[in-house]
Amino acid sequence: MRRPSPIVIVGILLLVIAASFSQLTAFVVDWLWFDSLGLGAVFSTIWHTQFVAFVGATVVTAIVLAVNGWVAVRAEVLRVGSLRVLRRNGGGGGEGLPLFVEFAADTLPWRIIIPAAATVLGVFVGLAQSAHWQVFQRWLHAVSFGKSDPLFANDFGFYVFTLPLYEVVRDWGFLALFLSAVLAAAVYWVRGGIRVDQRGPQLGVSVIRHLSALLALFFLIKAGDYVLQRYDLLYAGNGVAFGAAYTDVHVRLPLLTALAALSVVAALLCAANVRVAASRLPVAAVVLVFGASFVEAVVPSVFQSYRVKPDELRLEAPYIAQTIAATRYAFALDGIASKPFRSEGSLTPAVLAENDVTIQNIRWWDPRPLLDSYRQLQEIRLYYDFKDIDVDRYTIEGRYQQVMLSPRELNQSRLPPDAQTWINQRFKFTHGYGVSMSPVNRFDEEGLPHFYIKDIPPVSSIGMPIDRPEVYFGEATRGYVVVGGGTTEFDYPKGQENVYTTYQGHDGVSLGSLWRRALFAWQLGDLKLLISGNVTPNSRILFRRLIHDRLTRIAPFLVLDHDPYLVVNDGRLIWVQDAYTTTDAIPYSQRTPGGINYIRNAVKIAVDAYDGSPTFYVADVSDPIVQTYQQIFPSLFQPLDSMPAGLRQHMRYPEDLFLVQASMYGTYHMTDPEVFYNKEDLWSFPQESYDGNAVTMQPYYTIMRLPGEARAEFILMLPMVPNGRDNMIAWLAARCDGPHYGTLIEYAFPKEKLVYGPGQIEARIDQDTTISQQLSLWNQTGSRVIRGNLLVIPVDDTLLYVEPLYLRAEKRELPELKRVIASAGDRVVMSQNVETLLAALVGNPQPPPAVKAANAPLAAPQAVAATANPALQHYRQAMDALRAGDWRQFGVEMDALRAALEEGAAVR
């Protein structure tokens, strides 16, 4: 054996020191960052838990390893071995020939080797265990769910909070035994207790006794493992139900219990072998347990095939019912109210008048082409960018309106190459500026959006001033910046000049001392922070500016919705981020493809776009998981009632949660076990056409008056279709306003009646000769037609289908809204504007009698003329009312128009 080179030893020590220093600097940076946010208590709780877990696991593991190593050192062996060390001769012949130097094993410094090896291995184990800090804290502060599983009668909290701790302890036990066996075997091998000759491995008596003791402990832990595996049956999937089914309960469960008992017997056999010191008892123990485990792997499958399958429905029905109940609870499907939607009405002027708020808030702008329009019309400068479009609602000039908006964020990568200097990226270009907002239903004659808020500085046409338009924190604000330094920040462009500013927010870690500058220079790998004269005692560094990164670092136990949305509130820009508590440990609850089987929108987080300050509000006080975290971090969470009233008006039901629930509801709306078993009534998401491709329809927000309700409200909705079919079977709605927030409703169509689904309406649009000819003409002129979202809008007891058409020139990225399409199911119409579109949809499709007068007998021309003039007058007044958004007057004039036309027909 060659002695390590001093260079190698020094290199290893330097690597260890560098790794330790990096860990230390990361710790200090996190501490300073949490403290700057006023969340020092959160950091302390996390770090203290990790430290205690690390120290505890390190000490216990080191003691276990040291005891086993020392037993191996003190044990009697067959003969005392030796250790041969290869070194180079430094004298004598001067030829540097290798020499072997042999040391007697018992002369080695075991008092140093064993504690050192045990400590090093214990440190690695401790680091691994410190990552389980959430498991330990959740166990200490566990809250009861108030619901129990039907098999073991344990509260769900046992599986969510306690069982993970048992699994961590089990895994640590197996690892500690494995490392103990390796360390002891290595010592025995060096000392001669283990020899390999022509007869194979030869073990001394002490070795056999020691390994028998370790094997006995292994089987004891294995017995506990089999006990824990019994609980895993509650998450088994056999294709019929999720969770323990008939075979699991009647075969696997008894076999696992028997295996646990046999493992205890095997442990006793191995313990007895400590005195006997033979090989028969350990071999018998291994054969006993692992032979029985083979039986456990084979018998259930045979039982399932020949006993359960022939009578599956009857035997599995109780377990299917348990799966249905658990899944509906875990995904909050049991609170969905089911109501009939007979779709027996028709669109008339009176219906439109009664639902004027719904009609005025039809979303003609699809977020995808609108994002391109925002980028072309409102980025103003190349270094600004709009990442996505958010949908929200505001009361504007006394009217409840749905709007679309997006913040103008800074994209440093768009700066000219010669302007992408370190000073510009870290000190000058630090933030985005302002927001653009437009109504969902308005577009000008050129097909471009009408803006409520636009330009730089923000100009509002609706009396909505923005006092703090700077966006330092957002969805695209990557990289760190230094504020309050020796350089003023670029604020916004103004003509040929620029306006500059200095950050006045509360966020940021001070760089006022040399050690802090050195700390961040090391941590961020940027030496310029240490040597730049632009960093002054008043400088602060802003980092972790992406909303997702920022909140994940603070609360890694929460799952964040994919899309935070921006709210204009009291002159400031506020990000609202929905956050979920999830688990995969609810017994009998079906898991999603993502692996969870429980979800709640338990937390809503508000983040100021200017200073980055986050506030965590508990939105679901009934959720046991968030109750547990409230006990762990009492200073982190605030009650929802403390959210500012203006901000609370913009809470919306989150899309990710709604998607998960709608997906699960497509199966779990079936509550009868027999129907569920036969999968007779599976639902799925409909298909729609977008940009020439068939895509799955996504949920969409809209303002509408729900059937039976007095007022229009902001909802999130999604049509549902039978699996493999295109007709609509139901639509789901999530209410977002006031006391009804979070209420889910299923509106079911009659199963005996055909209700057109989005895919079928898309097909009718394709088959309309007028529309298809117009689309072909546009495509032939070098433009590209983009078909936007097809939306299904329930209006009273009927449905209105709408779809916008956009035209984009091949060499331009500016889509223009050129046509709008509507359908009431039986007919499809297209027009250049909404007024004529709806008039054509609800009016008489046949030419009016006045047009037919040219072919009428000359006996009554005066009567025809007398009728035509009032009809034309009512038509014009109806169009004026429609343009003004006065749907009630529109309905009155359309009724008068119909009466005038009927009177004219009677005269003829």
- Contacts of residue 109, Cβ cutoff 8 Å, sequence gap at least 6: none
Per the DSSP assignment, residues forming a β-bridge with 720 are 730
On the 0-12 / 13-18 / 19+ scale of CB atoms within 10 A, 770 is exposed
Structure tokens at 400: 């409840």
Query: Which amino acid is residue 552, in one-letter code?
Result: T
Distance CA 397, CA 417 (A): 45
Distance CA 832, CA 819 (A): 5
> Considering only CA atoms, which of 903, 843, 829 is closest in space to residue 878?
843
pLDDT at 587: 97
pLDDT at 570: 93
- Contacts of residue 741, Cβ cutoff 8 Å, sequence gap at least 6: 651, 653, 735
**Residue the block writes with tokens 């509650």:** 234
Structure tokens at 819: 């046509």
pLDDT at 88: 47
pLDDT at 6: 67
Distance CA 801, CA 825 (A): 8
Provide the 8-state DSSP code for 575.
E
Residue 417's CB: how many other CB atoms inside 10 A?
A: 6
In what helix (H) or strand (E) does residue 87 lie, and over which residues does it extend? strand 82-88
With a cut of 70, list the residues of the chain below it in pLDDT: 1-6, 8-10, 18-19, 76-107, 196-200, 844-869, 871-872, 879-888, 890-891, 898, 901-908
pLDDT at 777: 83
Structure tokens at 773: 């000819």
User: Which DSSP string corresponds to 804-847?
Assistant: EEEEEETT----EEEEEEEE-SS-EEEESSHHHHHHHHHS-SSP
Nearest 10 degrees: Cα torsion 839, 842, 845, 847: -50
In what helix (H) or strand (E) does residue 11 lie, and over which residues does it extend? helix 6-36
Nearest 10 degrees: Cα torsion 755, 757, 762, 766: -40
Is there a contact between 655 and 661 (Cβ–Cβ < 8 Å)? no
**% helix, strand, coil for the chain, step of 5:** 45, 20, 30
pLDDT at 161: 97
Beta strand extents in 643-728 (DSSP E only): 683-684, 687-690, 693-696, 700-704, 713-722
pLDDT at 60: 96
Cis peptide before 654 (omega within 30 of 0): no
What's the number of CA atoms in the CB half-sphere (13 Å) around residue 576?
Answer: 24
Is there a contact between 282 and 266 (Cβ–Cβ < 8 Å)? no
Per the DSSP assignment, residues forming a β-bridge with 574 are 608
* Rounded to 5°, angle at Cα 902 from 901 and 903: 90
Q: Please say whether the dihedral angle defined by the alpha carbons of residues 343, 344, 346 and 352, taken in this order, is positive or negative.
A: negative
pLDDT at 553: 96
In what helix (H) or strand (E) does residue 636 lie, and over which residues does it extend? none
- Contacts of residue 575, Cβ cutoff 8 Å, sequence gap at least 6: 473, 474, 547, 564, 565, 566, 567, 606, 607, 608, 609
Distance CA 244, CA 323 (A): 9
Distance CA 117, CA 33 (A): 36
Is there a contact between 607 and 565 (Cβ–Cβ < 8 Å)? no
Decide: pTM greater than 0.85: yes
Distance CA 699, CA 717 (A): 6
In what helix (H) or strand (E) does residue 499 lie, and over which residues does it extend? strand 497-501
pLDDT at 901: 67
Three-class SS of residue 573?
Answer: strand
Distance CA 578, CA 604 (A): 5
On the 0-12 / 13-18 / 19+ scale of CB atoms within 10 A, 228 is middle
